[in-house]
Structure 1
Amino acid sequence: MSTLHLTKGSKIHDGLFDGAVARILELQRDDGSIPWYDGGVFDPWNHTEAAMALDVMGEREAAVRAYQHLVDIQLEDGSWWMEMGSAVPLDEDEQRYTGEDEQDKKYERDTNSAAYIATGIWHHYLLTQDTDFLQHFWPTIKKAFAFVVSHQSEHGEIRWASRDTDAPDDALITASSSIHKSLEHAAHIAATLGHTDLAGEWIASREALGDALRHKPHRFDRTWEPKDTFSMDWYYPVLGGALTGDAAYAKIASRWDEFVQDGVGCRCVVHEPWVTVAESAELCLALLGMGDRKRAEKMLSWQHQHADDDGAYWMGIQTEVGKPWPAEKPAWTAGAVILAADAVTQSTAACNALIDHTLPDIDGLDAAQDRQRLNKR
């Protein structure tokens, strides 16, 4: 086991992440889709995370194929199925869907998964400055965010899943925080292409969602047990830009000792001896976003010890026994580490996509916000 301390200016394209990239490419299917792991499910959010990592490492063709796959399978209402394909159990006693009765299983359509495509497409544009690429994906983005914002309540929170199923009418802090970030990227795409009215409406939607995340905790977890035992509910409001400045520092300080295991990383669940690499990499990004570079670099440095001999990263480590658990090396785990490494080292033109929360400066923003507020009444 070892650590790897990357800093601003360190090189990430000299073979350091070859194993992680190879793992993602190994998992990518002919249609462009990137499942979680061997025999694993496909979902648009984690697929996009892996595609962004491929882009960072110069695998442009594979990244574009991944994004085109989302166009190819988008549903008429702008959404995507949350989960497609088969999965393997994470626990020997847990029974998971195997894909054999797919026609009989009704999946929810997740607003967060629908929104994350904007983050991937904007990330690619930052790398390439390819406006034709944005134009090609614009109809997909427009449909996706029509679906997303149609699930926003007058209180600002965004329902976690489509209304036309029996999914509980509720909102998730982690998912909403991710949507908050994706709305920012969608607004950048719209503004870059000259669609300032939509950019303004999406900024207004982001403002209302951010206000709910900051000031209306009662609008989340209304119909189920709170998810506050999960680290993602702790750091995602910071990662997604809903909390910045002193509020971000206070949020991270509030539970640092509960979730962070020194020298190892961030626990997925507060009461479990399970440090997960993706959560640790995302916490690194959250720390960078609030200006805490020292702890961000340290958090990332601890993750190299969780790589297999082939350079791919294990999903997590059961710290009481010191072994990987489960024995899976997901594409999105590799993706999260690469994205964190890019942000730490400032290696590419997209290095700040997940840590800078600047909005596009557009004319008519106040009018767009007023329209959005009226529509919510």
Structure 2
Amino acid sequence: MTMTPATGLTDLVRASLGDPLAEIAEQHVEPLHHGSGALSTASLHRVRGTTTSGVSWSFFVKSIHAIKHSAWFAKMPEGMRADALAQFPWRADADAYLARRPLPGGLRLPRMYRLDDLGDDRLVMWLEDVRVAPTTWDLDRYRAAARLLGDLAVAWPVAGRSSVPREPLNRGLRWYCAGPVANLFLPILRNPATWRHPLVARHADPLLHADLLALTDRIGPLLEALDRLPHTLVHGDAGPMNLLVPSDGSAEFVAVDWSWPHPAAVGFDLGQLVVGRAHTGELDPADLPAVHEVIEAAYVAATAGIADPCEVSFGYVAALVLRSAWTAIPLELLDHEPTPELNDLFRKRAGLARFIVDLGRSLRLCDGC
């Protein structure tokens, strides 16, 4: 992390505290863990301290960069790199703050105090360090999140349905399916050795293997059908980890890590909401159907003015399949030590894969699609 000069940090502290005379007495920098799969995130830090009058201050500092700076870039097939450089929305999170779009009541962004441009497609965001209340993600919490995501869709319409779209609307999903899915994930899933790996073979049966690969035949038709649905701007990664519950009661949720600048079909944001805690192993596969039912119903009610229930259901499940089916099993962890904890994660993630596959197999085009 490139530290800001003390005078600049003093200005930030004064702005955050609303005290033009505040002076820094001490400061600390704490590195924070971030997932290795976050291609645009260079680092996360908490910069905190106290003033000479004993008042505490703190910032959440997020450094982002173009995909060319990611460790994963060199591992990409050479034919993918130019397209990835052009298509990957590395600065989507920063742009969400700069856009200042109105948000529905109950939802807010953290305050961004400053955006530093370091050059060479590198940015540093100095953000409010949101104090999070102790919370449980029960069905009521999921319901509230889905309702607000529906309200967000209503607030940010982009394009209505079209029987013959002039150009594909789902640019982000199309790039994702043609790039990472086709060139990275599917070759691993098609490799018989993957399914013989102890971590996979113990929890994923041959039928899951066959069903996952059979879904690949639907990629093109699903993308075309999604183009004919009502579209909105979206959060893009609206999992529970990115919907913070602030302890000060300033909102129901503080939404962080905005990641999808492209228009998407109604229902898109529900995908990450349902898989977020399943990815980490916090949500058992047995609980997925109840979460699925609750969030779909809440989102349908919120978006009644812009989409029919069947359109929401199709948009939600089709995007979930295209974005999450082939990454449900944590293939990136196959070279890790097979600890009991990792075995349990593979069990849960295989259950997530089965849940998504079953939704995908039952998916039927509605009249509006």
Bigger relative CO (Cα 8 Å, ≥ 6 apart): 1
Larger radius of gyration: 2
Would you call these one fold, judging by a TM-score over 0.5? no
Q: What is the TM-score normalised by the length of structure 2?
A: 0.28
